[in-house]
Structure 1
Amino acid sequence: MWRGIFVVFAKEVVDNIRDRRSLMVAFIYPLLGPLILGVIISMVSNVVRVNPERHVQLPVVGAEHAPQLMAFLKNKGVNVVPAPADAKAAVRAGKANNILVVPENFTAQFGAKKTASVDLIVNSSRLPGLIALNRTLGWLGEYNQIVWGKRISTHGVDFQKLRPLTIKNVNVSSGTHIAEVLLFMVPPLFIFNLFMGGVYLAMDTTSGERERDSLEPLLINPIERWGLMLGKFLAALLFTAAAVAVQLFAFQIAFKLAGVGSFSFVHNLNALTIVGIMLMTLPLMIAAVGIQFVVATVTTSFKEAQTYLGLLPLVPAIPGMALVFSPVQVQDWMMAIPSFSQTLLLGQMVRGESITLSAVAISMATTTLLAGGLLWVVAKLYEREELIFGS
């Protein structure tokens, strides 16, 4: 029996290796996600990363009205430059990230030790603008505190007594870069690819062979129908695993090239992590192939199967996409949900966060039960005579 299963398995693998569409789904499509994500991470890294050897430019309107402030900014390494004639239009068009406007009455107000106002023109819809805004507000806040302290001290008041709190930010994130938020996109891309890797083989070996009238001759061979199904199933599983492996290694290369130094993400996905992900998601691969075979078996035509299975990868990937914008606190009961638990665990692993063995065990156990149930359903469907003609 096992020899017959291996013969069927080898036949399907060889046939689909010769099929350009199967190879494209298994080895080309998995590269698209890492390629796109790598480009995005690289672009965001270039925007956020500050070169310490390069002075940051700050266009200023009315710099002559605040010589002390300009001297402070230059001491901070800021290159103060004249602003364009139409400051708002320049910021809106992206020609400048932000522009500082010093009014004419600044000198009089500041000299009289009154509150002097400045305007900061910024486009908050652009990431460079938000980063420049945060950086400029930090400089202005520091200057404001220094001047305030000097004014208070002239009245014999201890400046430190007016500061009951000293606030320090303690970042507990495993990453050091805002671009690592994009790592939340890895799980949905991975899950989508997992449910896509062997889909063409699953359709072709069931619905496709039925339409080509080549399924009936296979069924009269001296092999149990469940054995025939298992051979085809294992072939589809192999292509799914190959697609997953290709994508993971592509992610590793993308992370390696996306940034340098402290902005490199290659440590987030090393070889050991890839092996762990492959083992952790193996039950989900079996379940995915099981769903594909169920749909391909019960549908009446190849086109109908293609319609349903084309939409299938979106269903488990949608929760992962939602987590990109609204992350959740991982809880134990979530590990009992197939696909969703793998999405959460994969996200933690890619971001370098620690995961518990109990969470992995629960996730794999529940998904294995689902995969076993689907495999049993497919075996029963192969026992039906309607398999030959469609139902």
Structure 2
Amino acid sequence: MSGLPLLLIVLRKELADALRDRRTLIVVLVSSVLLGPLLLVALSGLIATLEAQAEKRELVVVGIEHAPALRNFIERQSYVVTPAPADYEAKLRAQKLGDPVLVIPAGFEAALVRGEQPVLQVVSDTGNKAAEAGAGRVQRLLAAYARERGTLSLALRGVSPQLLEPMQVEEHDLASAQGRAAQLTGMLPFFVIMAVVYGALNAALDTTAGERERGSLEPLLANPAPRWALVGGKWGAVFALAMLIAVLCCLSFLPAQWLLRSDTLQAMFQFGWAEALRFIAVLSPLAAALSAVLMAVAIRCKTFKEAQANSTVVVLAASLLPLMTLFNQGGEAWWHAWVPGLAQFTLMTRVLKGEALAAQPIAISLGVCTVLTVASVVFVARHLRAAAVR
């Protein structure tokens, strides 16, 4: 029998062994496939909460009786003035109060009449995200009141209010709607990469160190089959499982969009079949390389637990490399395409932003992953028989 049919036989055998461990497979599927959509739904829930808080237009105030003119302005802006509780500081720290508190000192109105600058306090807590998000809204409201009062004072003295604003500034955001959404959903590629890692991890360790520990590796090597057929079949099974997890993880974002509670995020986050297919195409070289590297790490280990400990280095590298983009404020660097994991994270981020994928970084990442895959598979083939007899 030639090598290719033997490779297919080993591939079917390894896939059957991997799928037979249903408990582990279910855990990997649930943790890897559902984690990204759950994060997306949780993020939309947070944004929806902040949007609902902004829409209710409620202002929590201490000492509003000292500023009748300010109260009139606030109510003209369709805000509802609510007295703050006596223990508002404790409630803000305990996150039981989701609104910042405006504190107005006594004599505020009289100080304004005398031309003084009274101090208003906007009390919030950086640990209370809801209150912290509302602090900017209160400050903008107070700035609008200050402009209105200054404009009226100048008009009463016959001075043109335009002297305060000799120019108009308009902001122009070059980012598309998908680009703005990517600022919120930028961690989704990280979870997809980790799904690929954990999808390949258990199968790669079981087909090498696991079989060696169970004593099933020697009978397999006793068959008159080429070494490349045995290793190719094992690697193909691990790669197939990693891609299965990757495909399911990418496709899970499609129905997850139906559960988004934030209309704003739902309008900006456009992830359809085209984006899912691009994610899968970008991930396939990484899945091949990770499968081979994990097998190369595990083939030198005597037990499954030892292989798990050694593979932690690969898992840690795959999880930390994409996070390097958070510390790089200069944008994408030329060397990102040469680093597996980081290159895929960068390409998937471009997909989320709706940008076109350039051919050069795709070719570089594909070439690097191919070299890494071939080198690791050759390493496994050379150490396979030695691992069985040790």
TM > 0.5 fold call = yes
Please say if residues 283 and 344 of structure 2, whose CA atoms lie closer than 8 Å, have aligned partners that are also in contact.
yes
Deviation, 1:112, is 3.1
Compared CA separation, residues 179 and 81, structure 1 to 2 (3 A):
farther
Alignment counterpart, residue 305 of structure 1, candidates 304, 307, 313: 307
Q: Which residue of 2 aligns with 1:387?
A: 387
Please say if residues 185 and 324 of structure 1, whose CA atoms lie closer than 8 Å, have aligned partners that are also in contact.
no
Separation in 1 of the partners of 2:24 and 2:93? 47
Q: Please, what TM-score do these two structures have when normalized by structure 2? A: 0.90
Deviation, 1:44, is 1.7
Deviation, 1:12, is 1.2
Separation in 1 of the partners of 2:377 and 2:297? 12
Please say if residues 215 and 388 of structure 1, whose CA atoms lie closer than 8 Å, have aligned partners that are also in contact.
yes
Compared CA separation, residues 387 and 189, structure 1 to 2 (3 A):
same
One-letter amino acid matched to 2:244: A
Please say if residues 38 and 254 of structure 1, whose CA atoms lie closer than 8 Å, have aligned partners that are also in contact.
yes
Separation in 2 of the partners of 1:178 and 1:122? 27
Q: Which residue of 2 aligns with 1:78?
A: 79
Separation in 1 of the partners of 2:51 and 2:327? 23
Q: Deviations over 1:219-250 (max 9, x none)?
A: 12231011011011101110000111111122
Deviation, 1:182, is 4.0
Deviation, 1:325, is 6.4
Separation in 2 of the partners of 1:300 and 1:39? 42
Residue pairs, 1:28-107, within 5 angstroms? 28-50=30-52, 54-94=55-95, 95-107=97-109
One-letter amino acid matched to 1:317: S
Deviation, 1:31, is 2.6
One-letter amino acid matched to 1:138: R
Q: Deviations over 1:92-149 (max 9, x none)?
A: 3332521112222112122334333322222222221121111011111011011111
Q: Which residue of 2 aligns with 1:158?
A: 160
Separation in 1 of the partners of 2:86 and 2:387? 75
Deviation, 1:262, is 2.3
Q: Deviations over 1:322-347 (max 9, x none)?
A: 43466550133321222211111112
Instruction: Look up the SS of the partner of 1:196 in the other structure.
Output: helix
Instruction: Look up the SS of the partner of 1:49 in the other structure.
Output: helix
Q: Which residue of 2 aligns with 1:239?
A: 241
Q: Does 1:252 align with 2:254?
A: yes
Please say if residues 349 and 355 of structure 1, whose CA atoms lie closer than 8 Å, have aligned partners that are also in contact.
yes
Compared CA separation, residues 176 and 291, structure 1 to 2 (3 A):
closer
Please say if residues 179 and 354 of structure 2, whose CA atoms lie closer than 8 Å, have aligned partners that are also in contact.
no
One-letter amino acid matched to 1:352: G
**Coordinate RMSD, CA, aligned:** 2.5
**Which stretch shifts more, 207-216 or 27-36?**
27-36
Deviation, 1:27, is 2.0
Alignment length (residue pairs): 387
Separation in 2 of the partners of 1:98 and 1:157? 36
Instruction: Look up the SS of the partner of 1:172 in the other structure.
Output: coil
Instruction: Look up the SS of the partner of 2:321 in the other structure.
Output: helix
Instruction: Look up the SS of the partner of 1:259 in the other structure.
Output: coil
One-letter amino acid matched to 1:143: Y
**Which stretch shifts more, 266-275 or 300-309?**
266-275
Instruction: Look up the SS of the partner of 2:199 in the other structure.
Output: coil
Deviation, 1:49, is 1.4
Alignment counterpart, residue 283 of structure 2, candidates 281, 284, 289: 281
Q: Does 1:195 align with 2:211?
A: no
**Which stretch shifts more, 104-113 or 278-287?**
104-113
One-letter amino acid matched to 2:345: T
Residue pairs, 1:1-391, within 5 angstroms? 1-24=3-26, 26-50=28-52, 54-94=55-95, 95-175=97-177, 181-264=183-266, 267-324=269-326, 328-382=330-384, 385-390=385-390
**What stretches of structure 2 of length at least 5 have no aligned partner?**
none
Compared CA separation, residues 176 and 89, structure 1 to 2 (3 A):
farther
Deviation, 1:361, is 2.2
Instruction: Look up the SS of the partner of 1:58 in the other structure.
Output: strand
**What stretches of structure 1 of length at least 5 have no aligned partner?**
none
Separation in 2 of the partners of 1:355 and 1:156? 59
Q: Please, what TM-score do these two structures have when normalized by structure 1? A: 0.90
Separation in 2 of the partners of 1:315 and 1:178? 28
Identity of aligned residues (%): 27
